[in-house]
Structure 1
Amino acid sequence: MTHRDQALAVRTTFNLDVPAEVITAGFADTQNPHVPNRDDGYVFRRETLRDILSFLDDPDGDGLYFSGHYGAGKTTLPYQVAARLCWPVQSFTAHSRMEFDDLVGTWKLVNGTMQFLHGPLAVAMREGHLFILNEIDRADPGQLAGLHDVLEGHPLVIATNGGEVIRAHENFRFIANGNSMGSGDSTGLYQGVNQLDIAFMDRFRVVEVDYPTEDVEMMILQKKTPELPEEIRRNMIRVANQIRRLFIGGEESATPLTITMSTRALCRWAKLTLVFRNAPNALAYALNQSLLAKAEPEQKIAIEQIARDVFGSTWQQGEAA
């Protein structure tokens, strides 16, 4: 890979209503195995797409950090952008036991001989791929200190491989995501989230990703389940949004939930409602498999009541299709 060699119209590439002359750049090579799979049902949001495309065009020495509640879409976005730009991706999901060598590489026994296997960060820097570090705020902040120099634009020096020096390819980009803004979890919703060093966070542009609007989720469900009546889809979204408000604490007088409905779970509910359309109550049966089976008993009752209130007689009769 060298330069981005493919001019792409944002309007047609991302199916957004923007002027036809707005363009970005991608790659002509569609066969690279590191390009993510494309989900044609994905719906882009203008603001977050603008932010990531601006970063990809000119990072200006920054990393990009997406913050948001789980299921809001912060993880999927960069992969789906990369899929349409044919930009290869290296990724890693952080955890409490992650070590810097997991990103850089380590010596391993391969076919009877010791070989140094480069990690995803090293490969991304060398080859000009996007590097996506998921759940970055679950990593030990001390292990992230090794990323300071990389984010400053300095070469990656791998001491364990004889001092190998990898200079960042011009197409290398660093993207991270987490449930917090890097200052720890003040909500109590996410166990294991760490406070990240303020100097480390200063190296990122930070974009907060909220749950999609009702209009966006209607477009998503229309693509995923066009056979489902529009009013059923709209009521499903209303249920999802009420659950989310309780999850994030939007209604102080109500008992907060420790589980929420992601767009992924919403789509699962819609699809399973069609699958089980002949069940006595397809809506309730599908909702249980999509979300309620994972909820605590009292929260399950609360969510069921939300659904009953929103759907009214449709819920009682189980008329889902």
Structure 2
Amino acid sequence: MNHQEVREFCEARGIMALAQPTQYTPKVKPDFSFRKEHVVELVGFWCMGEIGMMLRGPSGCGKTALVEQFHAAMNYPLLQPMTHARTEAPDLNGQIIPSEGGFKYVYGLLVLAARYGLSVFLDEYNVMDSSVTTSLNPILEGGKFEIPETGETIFPKEGFRVFAACNPNDKGLGFFGRNEEDASNKERFWVVEFGYPTPDQEVPIVSTILKSVFDDSTADTYAQKMVEVANRIRQQYMGESGAANALEVTMSTRTLRRWAKGITVFGGQGGSANPITFTLARALTNNAPRESRDAIHEIVKDIFGATA
């Protein structure tokens, strides 16, 4: 689905788009393709009147892009505070900071979203300490938020929604620094599990990028082979494979797109390097241990044949 189709799908179900984007509306990415099952999830969540949605899945599978581009399609504002291992509750809620002539209270983006009935997106949610995430429990249920510094009491306005994205808390999958969320916090979210797109969904994503420089037939052929490479890597990744020689890196849809973009740029440069392997190295394998790097390039040779 494209952005217009998403807008029409939503409006047919009573979720009306804004006439114009706001200053906080994410920019539209024209080449972004929505998976219908994800749009259905978002529409159902919207219609239920829930506040919190948690999106779980591996890195680079499209969690962040889905939330951003859904808001872009509907012209809705989306506030996105920075979140990391050192994030504290005042970073999200608000705090007193020095200002000219004294001090002033600055509202955090989470509280601003609640006050004005906006969406807020918390990426890398389970990197934050559980003491921070559990402090959000009352507001995730629509409860009041007290600001002792100003004496204010804020009740979330209709339209307030919290989207939280998490990678798996699993070192075996290569994800470090993730915290186990508190049970009381987890139960306040509508939770959606994400995986990588199917080949039928992923090939058009890659092909669209390649068609900017290649004819349709060449782009489609390359896209099919590149997605086959990605899925072979995922199957042999140590998080999915129990084999002793399992790969130590995997290929996300984000990396696959970067590889495709690299080919469109370097494929026409006329250099001596093969653009398929040259760009793959920079998109993925230069960060891989030697054994995995060599194995991945063998996969590419097996699938692409002489062209690699």
Using the size of structure 1 for normalisation, the TM-score is: 0.86
Query: Once the two structures are aligned, what percentage of the paired residues are identical?
Result: 31
Look up the equivalent residue of 1:198 and give its one-letter code: A
CA distance in 2, matches of 1:77, 1:301: 33
1:236 positional shift? 0.6
Determine the structure 1 residue equivalent to 2:114: 125
Determine the structure 2 residue equivalent to 1:249: 239
Using the size of structure 2 for normalisation, the TM-score is: 0.90
Runs of 4+ in 1 over 4 A off after TM superposition: none
Deviation by residue 1:96-135 (Cα, 9 ceiling, x = unmatched): 2111111001111233442211111011101111111111
| 278-287 vs 97-106, greater mean Cα deviation | 278-287
Q: 2:176 matched to 1:201? A: no
CA distance in 2, matches of 1:279, 1:121: 50
CA distance in 1, matches of 2:3, 2:109: 32
Q: 2:271 matched to 1:279? A: yes
- Unaligned runs of 5+ residues in structure 2 are none
- 1:245–1:251 CA contact under 8 A, matched in 2: yes
CA distance in 2, matches of 1:57, 1:269: 38
CA distance in 1, matches of 2:11, 2:46: 18
1:28 positional shift? 2.5
SS in 1 for 2:15: strand
CA distance in 2, matches of 1:246, 1:120: 41
Mapping of 1:80-229 within 5 angstroms?
80-159=69-148, 161-180=149-168, 184-185=169-170, 187-226=172-211, 227-228=213-214, 229=218
CA distance in 2, matches of 1:29, 1:258: 47
- 1:246–1:254 CA contact under 8 A, matched in 2: no
How many equivalent residue pairs? 300
SS in 2 for 1:42: coil
SS in 2 for 1:174: strand
- 2:26–2:77 CA contact under 8 A, matched in 1: yes
Cα RMSD for the two superposed structures? 2.3
- Unaligned runs of 5+ residues in structure 1 are 1-8, 316-321
Determine the structure 2 residue equivalent to 1:36: 26
Look up the equivalent residue of 2:251 and give its one-letter code: M
1:89 positional shift? 0.8
| 276-285 vs 232-241, greater mean Cα deviation | 276-285
- 1:29–1:86 CA contact under 8 A, matched in 2: yes
Deviation by residue 1:41-100 (Cα, 9 ceiling, x = unmatched): 11111111111121123234x411000000111111111000011111112343221111
Task: Please identify which structure carries the higher helix content.
Answer: 2
1:38 positional shift? 0.7
